[in-house]
Amino acid sequence: MLKLNKRLSFLAALVFIATACTEPDQEIFDAFTPEQLANSNNPVLTDVLKASAYQRIIGTWGGHNSLWSMHEVSSDEMVIAHKGADWEDGGMWIRTHRHEYGANEDAINNSWVYLYSAIGDINLLILQFPEVEALTAELRSLRALVYLWIIDSFGNAPIITETSADATPPNNTRQELFTFIESSILDNIDKLSTDNTKTTVNKWVAHAILAKLYLNAEVYIGSERYADAKTHIDAIINSGQFSLTNNFFANFATQNDGSPENIFTIPYDENNAGGFNLVQMTLHYSSQASFDLQEQPWNGYASLEEFYNSFEDGDSRKRSFLVGPQFASDGTRLVDASFEADDPDGAPLTFTPEINELRPNSLRQAGARVGKFEYASGSPSNMSNDFPIFRYGDVLLMKAEAEWKLGNNGVALDFMNLVRKRAGAEPLSSIDADILLAERGREMFAEGYRRSDMIRLGAFNDAWWEKPASDPSKNIYPIPTAQMNANPNLEQNPGYN
């Protein structure tokens, strides 16, 4: 069995929190020496080596109280209202909704730990097997994806690589993070597989990382890079590897691994790769009987009424929500025995788009629930749907946005209407930032991009239901207090001191 040397152990400490980095599962290395691995062309061995890095990416992405939650609840897509004491959670989700979050929020620290845990495991593998070229190229590209999430969320944060030697590194600037992500992909993209693997980083995933980076460059570094975004978007489109599914919801089915649209997914599995808990997070307690679920849901996440109403009735994507009367799997009407006396729907369980109030007494049945992902009958709390991180529908809308920014409105409309046609929506005849943002909302609901889209298209600091206009400092999250306490060289982001 291979052992970590002192340098590896030291490097693991750079993640700041003890729980934030663990040694990769060493059992997978049994029976192979480093020399055998370095000199082997067997792709199976490479897959074995990188397994622990991808396992860390699976992590808490699709679960409650981490990065996805922060992205969604801080946007105009979703809210977690207080139902009496239920979901009060110290007021964290109300603060998140209203952009009043601070450095002590559990979800923000959980997000940091999730991201730097992944960085730690990737660095350990790169350092342990530097001669396995295909492995290191893929891992450096995977690390670039994690840093894309870091630059988007925290703005100024440490760059930690396999050669880092500072146990308490200071923040790097957003410009430095941008350059690091860019060079990590450009230096490795030609070494990556062109196979359409879907659950590992290949050349097409690398193009998507750069496309996202360049599309957001004006936010990240103050300089436009839309032409560069277009180059990498076109590389994906012209590859011929991907196409829109005829059925939009096939991308989010329990068995969605064969979707021709999904480019990179997190492969959740209820038995072997848990952590995707949306079925618990959004459904009403009584919805357990709708899907014969093994556990009772938590009745938390719901969509804002205005966002729900932004979908046209003829748009098939409006079925991304569960609204109206709810039934058990045998067809009987569900009843909420603990319904509030002032609920106009009474005891019969009915999801209404309108939410009566954010706090303290939101009605138990209020709010359209997330129905975009299939909830398998008899499912446990962990779902088996692969979560799409990069998807062809998104790429086409990125193409529309890049072309619009470059002044090619006709081309932009063609690509946006291609996505709308799949949804059965009428074609649009004009395009601007508001139209683009609305269309991205309809297509990308609940996929974790709404916050970033709103920032890029200038709407994140606007007022919406139960949320006043917010300061632009809220466009990045604070460095968590737990991390500041562990590393005195970190500097807090502006607006949080």
362-401 per-position pLDDT tens digit: 999 999 999 999 999 999 999 999 999 999 999 999 999 9
What is the sign of the dihedral through the CA atoms of 247, 248, 253 and 259? positive
3-state secondary structure of 325: strand
Q: For 61, which DSSP code? A: T
Partners of 172 in the β-ladder: 157
Looking at the chain, the whole-number percentage of residues with pLDDT higher than 90 is 88
Q: Please state, in angstroms and rounded to a whole number, the distance separating the CA atoms of residues 458 and 218.
A: 11
In this prediction, residue 15 carries a pLDDT of: 43
Contact (Cβ atoms closer than 8 angstroms) between residue 220 and residue 178: yes
Domain extents for the chain?
397-486
| Torsion sign across C-alpha atoms 436, 442, 444, 448 | positive
* pTM attached to this predicted model: 0.93
Per-residue pLDDT, 309: 98
Per-residue confidence band for 14, with pLDDT thresholds at 50, 70 and 90: very low
Sorting pLDDT into bands at 50, 70 and 90, what band is 42?
low
What whole-number distance in Å separates Cα of residue 300 and Cα of residue 308?
16
Q: Give the pLDDT confidence score for residue 30 in this predicted structure.
A: 53
Query: Looking up tokens 């809210």, which residue turns up?
Result: 79
DSSP H or E run through 324: strand 324-325
* CB-CB contact of 169 with 14 (8 Å): yes
**Cβ atoms within 10 A of the Cβ of 232, count?**
25
Summarize the confidence of residues 195-204 as an average pLDDT: 97
pLDDT at 395: 99
Dist CA 180 CA 222 (whole Å): 16
Residue 407: CB partners within 8 Å, gap ≥ 6?
A: none
Counting Cβ atoms within 10 Å, is residue 379 exposed (0-12), middle (13-18) or buried (19+)? buried
* Residue 111 zone, left/alpha/beta (φ > 0; ψ -120 to 50; rest): alpha
Nearest Cα residue to 141 out of 187, 176, 174: 187
